[in-house]
Structure formats: C-alpha cells, structure tokens
Amino acid sequence: MSLASEADDTKPSCVKKRNLSAVGVSSLADWEDHLAPASSHVVTGDARATGLPNNSVDLIVTSPPYWQKRDYGHEDQIGLEPTPQAYVESMMECLDEWKRVLRPTGSVFLNVGDTYYNRSLMGIPGLLEFGAVQRGWLIRNRIIWTKDGGMPEPAKNRLANRHEYIIHLAMKPSYYYDLVGYSEYMGNGANPGDVWKINPERNMGAHLAPFPQELVRRAVKLGCPEQVCSTCNKPRSRVFERTDQLDPTRPQARRAMELAKEHGLTPEHIRAIQATGVSDVGKATKFQNGTGRNSADVQRLAAEAKAVLGGYFREFTFAKKVTTGWTDCGHGTPARGVVLDPFVGTGTTLKAAVALGRDAIGVDLVPLMHEAEVPAKPENPKRASAKRSAR
C-alpha cells in the first residue's frame, strides 16, 4: 500500500515507492511479537465530543442514525432534527470532532442512507457531502452498498430501496490507503470498484439496522494500517513492485499476454508501458527502474509495445503487484492501527476490527455492548443499533 495522493492515480508503482527506502523496509512480522493482542474499548459519550485524545485514531467506520427514521428516546440523540439542514449540521459537528481525533493520515467511511419525507427523497447523502466539502474534507468515493433484499416497501408507485451509500472522506490527499492489499483480499482485479454487494446479516435484536461485518472488513482493509508508529504517528505502508503478470481469467488480459509473447515484448517493454500508463506515451518523463534509462528510451519502448498491442496496451498497466516489504520509520515504537466507531451500538465495527488485528474504540450515549463482548474472532455479528445516536 502507499499513502494515497491525487498524483498516485497516474504514477506507476516504481515512482510511488521512490523515497520509501529513506525510512527503511522490513516485515510487519518483525514487531508482531512485541505488540499486545488487539483489543477494544467502549466509551459512553457523544460522537460530537468523544473525549478521545488528539491524533489517536487511524480510521473511523460508522453508521449514524438516519434522518427522521427512529426515536431512540435520548434527549441528545441525532436523527430527529426538524429539517434535513439541521440534521446535516449535527453531522458536521461530528466531522469537526472526528477531524480532531484522526491522525493526519486517517479517513472516514460513513454509511448513510436517504429519507423519504412528504413523498420525496431529501437528498441527505448529497447534503452531507456538500457540507463536508465546505468544511475542508475530501470526498474520495461514494460507494454504493447494494443488497438483494431489505425492509418491505409499502409504496406502490416507486421501486423498493435496495442500496445505501458509504461515503469515504479524507482530510488531506496523503491519507493511508492500501488498494493493493484490498485487491488481494477481494481477488477481483487491480481496482475492484465502488459498488459493494453485501447482503445484511441476520439480526434478531431489538434495533433492526443490519450493518454487516463484511462492510467493516473492507473499510478496514482499505483504510486502517496494521501497524503505526506511536512516536511519529506514521503508518507502516506496503512496498510493492508491479509484475508483468495479468489475470488469465479475463479475456482481454489473456489476449494481451498472447500478443506480448507473439511479438517478443521484453520486460523492459512492459515496464515502459507501466511507466507511461494509459496516457500519451510522450508524456513519460523518467523511467524509474533503476537502470538509468531516460525518457526517450521509455517513449520508444512504450511506442513499440503499443504498436503491437493496440487496444490491449492498457492491460499491462493493471498487472499484478508483489509486496516486497513495509516501510519502517526507525523509531522502534510500533502500535496497532486504531479503528473508531462513534455510533458503536452493539459493536459490529469493533468486533470486525479486532478480528483483523486492529485496536478498536466505540463511543455511544448508551452502548449496547461491552469490551468483554468483543471476541478475538467475530461470532454471529449484530448491528442492532447501528443507527443509534451517539449524542
């Protein structure tokens, strides 16, 4: 994985890891024996004033109460504001607090749905996104969570709602993001995409708001480092190399490999493709392969490859990646990455995070779970009060 930036969308992996050797590279296992087992902690409090220390959390995964959906009987609850705008303002106060507790490389995965009011959708997710941007947040993705089933819909003149949103917010471009590890976990290409089909898990609790552990696992895989330095707050980041191997189950990739073999393309040709990406080959400025090749060499090799590959040229920009190590800042004070759910409810987020080797913190006005209820491995997950307010 790398620390993500806008430039990372186009730079080849060899450029991304250019400066990582300055902080050293080692294995995560080097420090695993020195770390305490992953654990959780539950705080009774408000999502808008958690009381947690500054810069203490790596990732927030949460599902707040949706607007005008349910009354939880608490005078400070979020969700029953008189207008969508008032609800959004309450959520903006949450984001202000979360910005304080997040480390500079942290981000938020916010699960939220829309609400029908006076027979019209209110556009709540869009209002939240707009408000967040006004406060300086970056909206990195609007992930669509789809499901085969859901609550029965009484309306006869509209379709049943079978999706919700997961908004990924970051404070700055250099947030932690492990797309390589996530792609390996999903087993579905170099960039699996922003539609997540995850069916709700069975829930027989009093608060029926299913929030599947698989949703949490995906967010944690993407956005929470396994280890972070407790001295400088830097996450340990994946160092990887791109290979020339494609996914043979994809017809386009298989044809690209056939053409490359037929025309005798060399590893240098493939690296030139990856150095230029899918844009005009003339834009390549430097070939960071350690051989000292200049931009003219890159342009020539990439042009030769494009001439024989044609439209299959782009396939090699999505070649498989191999992890070669993890960055190490050198302080020798690693700690586990920390996941926070400020609307913790029954603790689904905490259970999933601990099972993945991260520490976890939950905040809620009236938590429905306790630390002892978070097993080392999740069992029959429940998100009975995922929509519960934290105020």
What one-character-per-residue DSSP string does 277-292 give?
TTS-GGG-----SSS-
- Asked if the structure places residue 56 within a domain, the reply is yes
Cβ neighbours for 59, distance < 8 A, ≥ 6 positions apart: 106, 107, 108, 109, 176, 219, 220, 223, 224, 337, 338, 339, 340
Residue 162 reports pLDDT greater than 60: yes
Residue 43 reports pLDDT greater than 50: yes
The rounded distance, in Å, linking the Cα atoms of 140 and 272 is 29
- Asked if the structure places residue 331 within a domain, the reply is no
Same domain, yes or no, for 168 and 293? no
| Winning range, highest mean pLDDT, from 169-183, 200-214, 260-274 | 169-183
The rounded distance, in Å, linking the Cα atoms of 24 and 28 is 12
Residue 169 reports pLDDT greater than 80: yes
The rounded distance, in Å, linking the Cα atoms of 329 and 176 is 15
Cβ neighbours for 352, distance < 8 A, ≥ 6 positions apart: 213, 216, 217, 220, 378, 381
Contact 362, 83 (CB under 8 A): no
- The SS3 of residue 30 is helix
Same domain, yes or no, for 89 and 166? yes
Q: Can you list the positions of beta strands (E) in 217-336?
A: 227-229, 238-242, 321-327, 334-336
The domain tally of the chain equals: 2
Same domain, yes or no, for 262 and 221? no
> If pLDDT is split at 50, 70 and 90, which confidence band does 245 have?
confident
CA distances from 76 to 45, 90, 344, 366 (A): 11, 11, 16, 11
- Asked if the structure places residue 388 within a domain, the reply is no
Same domain, yes or no, for 314 and 356? no
- Asked if the structure places residue 326 within a domain, the reply is no
Same domain, yes or no, for 186 and 44? yes
Structure tokens at 293: 């090749």
How does pLDDT run across 261-305, given as a tens digit for each residue?
A: 999 999 999 988 888 765 443 343 434 443 444 588 888 999 999
- State the helix-helix crossing angle for 295-309 and 267-276, rounded to 10 degrees: 100
- Asked if the structure places residue 336 within a domain, the reply is no
Same domain, yes or no, for 172 and 273? no
- The answer to which of 40-44, 130-134, 174-178, 197-201 has the lowest mean pLDDT is 197-201
Look at residues 304, 319, 334 and tell me which one is the last residue of a structural domain: 319
Q: Give the DSSP per-residue string, 369-381.
A: --GGG--SS--S-
- Asked if the structure places residue 387 within a domain, the reply is no
Same domain, yes or no, for 220 and 366? yes
Same domain, yes or no, for 222 and 248? no
Same domain, yes or no, for 54 and 170? yes
Same domain, yes or no, for 248 and 364? no
Q: What number of other Cβ atoms are within 10 A of residue 85's Cβ?
A: 12
- Asked if the structure places residue 200 within a domain, the reply is yes
Burial zone of 9 (CB within 10 Å; 0-12 exposed, 13-18 middle, 19+ buried): exposed
Q: Give the domain CATH number at 200.
A: 3.40.50.150
Which residue range forms the structural domain that includes residue 141?
A: 36-228+342-373
Task: Over range 204-214, report the average pLDDT.
Answer: 65
> If pLDDT is split at 50, 70 and 90, which confidence band does 34 have?
confident
Give me the phi and psi of 323, to 5 degrees please: -75, 125
Same domain, yes or no, for 315 and 196? no
Same domain, yes or no, for 135 and 249? no
The rounded distance, in Å, linking the Cα atoms of 39 and 26 is 25
- Asked if the structure places residue 18 within a domain, the reply is no
Single-letter residue type at 262: E
- The SS3 of residue 62 is strand
